[in-house]
Amino acid sequence: MKTKYILLTLLIMNSMYITSSPAMPSWLKQAVFYQIYPPSFQDSNGDGIGDIRGIISRLDYIRSLGANTIWLNPLFSSEFKDGGYDVTDFYSVDKRYGTNSDLVELVNEAHKRGIRVCLDLVAGHTSDKNPWFIQSQQADANLRYSDYYIWPAFIPDDISEWAAGKYIPSDAPRGNYYIKNFYACQPALNYGYANPDPNHPWEQPMDAPGPQAVRREMKNIIAFWMDKGVDGFRVDMAMSLVKNDPDKKGTMQLWHDMKGWFAERYPEGVLIAEWFNPTEAIAGGGFHIDFIAHAEKDNYTSLFFNREGGEFEPLVCYFDREGKGELRTFMEMYSRHYEAVKGKGYASLPTSNHDFQRPNCYTRNTLPQLKVAMTFFLTMPGAPFIYYGDEIGMKFLTGLPDVEGSRGEDGKNRAGTRTPMQWDGSPNAGFSTADTSRLYIAQDPDPQRPTVAAQENDPDSMLNYVRQLLKMRSGSAALGNDGDWKLLSDVNRPYPLVYLRSAGDERYCIVLNPSDKRVTAEFPSLESAGANCRVTTAAPAKYSRGKKTDKVTAPPVSATIFKME
Ligand code: GLC
Ligand code: CA
């Protein structure tokens, strides 16, 4: 009876996701990503805004970390009402960052150093100043770009307030409303509707000519940059393309088709989703990687910021010295995705990104605390993603004004996580020679702010800790992207967090205690001949082996990595 039930569940689960080819780019199992927010990394011409030549000048630094793949936020021509996510021309680099040739040079220089380069594909929408949208506004609906966008005649009265908020009134001859994705200046591209309503003629099916033309355009954009040597894309809001698609079946189908085309043409290319649901994105949509991060309750908010309000004011979370957090929410969600995508792709846990706070925020602000968090990020499975500056513990700055749409649709402070990189002790921390008042975003005013230069030769610095962890990771199949993962500690006794990484006979046991109390965990014996401490952030945890159970005792705010013999 029970077996029958399990079999049935498996069958149902299987049919929910279109099985996709498990082929992965060969380099992905060793990939360690470094995310660069282009206007904030390195300014080469003194205008206060980072640029491509600046990034080229820092490639050796990126390599020195142990990272081998870069993801760049959008660099394309833009109105910059949403930090470059409002694209006016997908086929050209915005002049503030340089030229298309500069980008090709960056790719070549990166490749020389064994670094791959991924761009950001804003697949879901454009700027309202994009020539496609301008043409689409015309009364004549038979022009080349007419059906690239969605033009409702009215707002149906049976839809949710959230859905109605996507209808933007328009005085264009074409229609009374257009559908937006994020800001009103970001009209949604038309990939069609999963369940078109015949009473709403603007809701075209996914296979209608307009939606099909948009797909072809996206393939053109992908091919245009891939053929210039780029190694892949992170796809912005990948989960949002098909409208009226509550179970995401249409959107998964769309990506599954796109991925089939992509993998055939670029077998070594990578597609990374911004979806925040790895099971849907990878098992369903065929993406290689998706993130578990800041979105929704069921991502990793319970670990880092259960945030509230525009400044991400922290509520109780797991990685806090108060030690009042819980693990169940995260572990149940993570285990589910981990199992669903195993062997197909990676559910990655980024250190942070351009949309939410850095690990260094509020009361999580000391070196030991940040090292404990970093140990988590760099010893979990899936490809690691280090957001620029997190490797030196740069701080999330509160209360910053809006810069180019950084306030977000719901008033979130995103500028606080996009402040310019801190390189050294020179003016503007070596980011730019511009007058300080002209910097893209103001920097951390603290005279003690962390810099690469100050940490370079300090063996205990965050920077060198990151290097140490990545070095260890690259030399170990167990700790690497594909190594197995298993929770050892009990979610009902959340501190310390103990998990096992393994590959064949190689096994590592990781013990994390973010709390300021000495804590103990007991779990079924690993039956090892010895537990050797390889890395520790404080005094090492104590490992006692027993016949039936093993026991670890972790000092306050500590991380220990044991190699099991
Ligand atoms: C994604 C980007 C974010 C942007 C939004 C709209 O979530 O990460 O920065 O504002 O999409 O394009
Ligand atoms: Ca510049």
Instruction: Kindly report, residue by residue over 105-128, the tens digit of the pLDDT.
Output: 999 999 999 999 999 999 999 999
Let me know if 16 is exposed, middle or buried by CB neighbors in 10 A (0-12, 13-18, 19+). Answer: middle
Strands of 33-36's sheet in order across: 346-348, 289-291, 270-273, 232-235, 116-121, 69-72, 33-36, 385-387
Distance CA 468, CA 463 (A): 9
Ligand nearest to the CA of 439: 2
Q: Above pLDDT 90, what percent of the chain?
A: 90
The Cα diameter of the chain in Å comes to 79
Q: Ligand 1 atom 4: the closest Cα is on which residue?
A: 85
**What is the tens place of the pLDDT at every residue in 246-292?**
999 999 999 999 999 999 999 999 999 999 999 999 999 999 999 99
Question: Which of 69-73, 97-101, 309-313, 356-360 is the least confident region?
Answer: 309-313
Residue 94 Cα to ligand 2 midpoint, Å, equals 11
Q: What is the pLDDT of residue 20?
A: 45
Q: How confident is the model at residue 11 (pLDDT cuts 50, 70, 90)?
A: very low
Mean pLDDT estimate for the chain: 94
- Which residues have a Cβ under 8 Å from the Cβ of 557 and sit 6 or more positions away? 321, 366, 368, 369, 372, 513, 514, 515, 516, 537, 538
Among 130, 182, 294, say which to mutate for ligand 1: greatest number of ligand atoms within 8 Å of CB.
182
Nearest to 347 by CA among 297, 299, 417, 307: 299
Residues in the chain: 565
Q: Ligand 1 atom 3: the closest Cα is on which residue?
A: 355
Phi, psi values for residue 94, rounded to 5°: -65, 140
Atom index in ligand 1 nearest the CA of residue 353 equals 8
Q: Ligand 1 atom 2: the closest Cα is on which residue?
A: 236
Quote the crossing angle between the two packed helices 209-226 and 249-265, to the nearest 10°: 40
Q: Above pLDDT 70, what percent of the chain?
A: 95
**What is the tens place of the pLDDT at every residue in 122-169?**
999 999 999 999 999 999 999 999 999 999 999 999 999 999 999 999
Distance CA 268, CA 192 (A): 30
On whether the CB atoms of residues 344 and 23 are closer than 8 A, the answer is no
Q: What is the pLDDT of residue 164?
A: 96
Q: How many whole angstroms from its chain centre is CA 226?
A: 21
| Protein residues whose CB sits closer than 6 Å to any atom of ligand 1 | 82, 85, 122, 182, 236-237, 274, 354-355
CA dihedral 191, 195, 198, 203 (to 10 degrees): -20
Q: How confident is the model at residue 557 (pLDDT cuts 50, 70, 90)?
A: very high
Asked if the model's pLDDT at residue 2 lies above 80, the reply is: no
Residue 534 Cα to ligand 1 midpoint, Å, equals 39
Q: What is the pLDDT of residue 308?
A: 65
Residue 45 Cα to ligand 2 midpoint, Å, equals 5
Name the residue with higher pLDDT: 98 or 316: 98
Atom index in ligand 1 nearest the CA of residue 122 equals 12
Q: How confident is the model at residue 4 (pLDDT cuts 50, 70, 90)?
A: low
Residue 243 Cα to ligand 1 midpoint, Å, equals 18
Q: What is the pLDDT of residue 15?
A: 46
Beta strands 289-291 and 177-179 are unpaired
Residue 85 Cα to ligand 1 midpoint, Å, equals 6
Distance CA 245, CA 205 (A): 12
Question: Which of 7-16, 155-164, 364-373 is the least confident region?
Answer: 7-16
- Which residues have a Cβ under 8 Å from the Cβ of 413 and sit 6 or more positions away? 310, 311, 312, 398, 399, 400, 406, 407
Cα within 13 Å of Cα(561), Cβ side: 23
Distance CA 33, CA 256 (A): 24
pTM over the 0.85 mark:
yes
**What is the tens place of the pLDDT at every residue in 296-335?**
666 888 999 876 667 767 678 999 999 999 999 999 999 9
Work out the average pLDDT over 446-473.
98
Atom index in ligand 1 nearest the CA of residue 409 equals 10
Q: Which residues of 411-446 are buried (b: 16+ CB within 10 A; e: fewer)?
A: ebbbbbbbbbbbbeeeebbbbbebeeeebbbebbee
Q: What is the pLDDT of residue 294?
A: 82
On whether the CB atoms of residues 358 and 37 are closer than 8 A, the answer is no
Nearest to 510 by CA among 471, 460, 564: 564
**What is the tens place of the pLDDT at every residue in 478-490?**
999 999 999 999 9
Atom index in ligand 1 nearest the CA of residue 183 equals 6
Q: How crowded is residue 448: how many other Cβ atoms within 10 Å of its Cβ?
A: 7
Residue 429 Cα to ligand 1 midpoint, Å, equals 27
Nearest to 461 by CA among 507, 422, 515: 422
Among 73, 236, 240, 413, say which to mutate for ligand 1: greatest number of ligand atoms within 8 Å of CB.
236
Distance CA 319, CA 520 (A): 17
Residue 354 Cα to ligand 1 midpoint, Å, equals 9
Asked if the model's pLDDT at residue 14 lies above 50, the reply is: no
Residue 402 Cα to ligand 1 midpoint, Å, equals 15
